Structure 1
């Protein structure tokens, strides 16, 4: 599953607004705005870094490793990813 799909599904299931999520992230020391979160869930920008993903995972109850793997899969160049799979 793609990073944005995992994120979007988790946001919907959380019943939290993007503003509520960003406020919870702020309490964990991660300051992002709801437009950034929206772009992440819609796949309009590359997946977030580890620190942000860890905080998002905690707030939304996502398995941290699942979100990290999805993020790395999209960040790693295709030829490198193919070599890793072999």
Structure 2
């Protein structure tokens, strides 16, 4: 599953608005706004970094590793990913 798919599905399942998620993230020391979350879930920007993904996963109550793996899969250049899969 793609990063955006995981994020979008879990945001919808949480019944939280993007503003509510942003406020909860802020309480955990992550200062991002709802427009950033919207861009993440719609693939307008690359996947977030590890710290933000951990915090998002915690707020949404999902597996941190699943979200991070999806993010890394999309960030790793294709030639490097192919080499990793062969090794």
Q: CA deviation at 1:19?
A: 0.3
Cα deviations across residues 34-60 of structure 1 (Å, max 9, x unaligned)? 000000000111000000000000000
Q: CA deviation at 1:33?
A: 0.6
| TM-score under structure 1 length normalisation | 0.99
- 1:73 is matched with which residue? 73
The CA distance in 1 between the partners of 2:66 and 2:36, in whole Å, is 21
Divergent runs of 4+, >2 A: none
Structure 1 unaligned spans of 5+: none
The CA distance in 1 between the partners of 2:79 and 2:12, in whole Å, is 33
Q: CA deviation at 1:62?
A: 1.3
The CA distance in 1 between the partners of 2:59 and 2:85, in whole Å, is 31
- SS of the equivalent of 1:74 reads helix
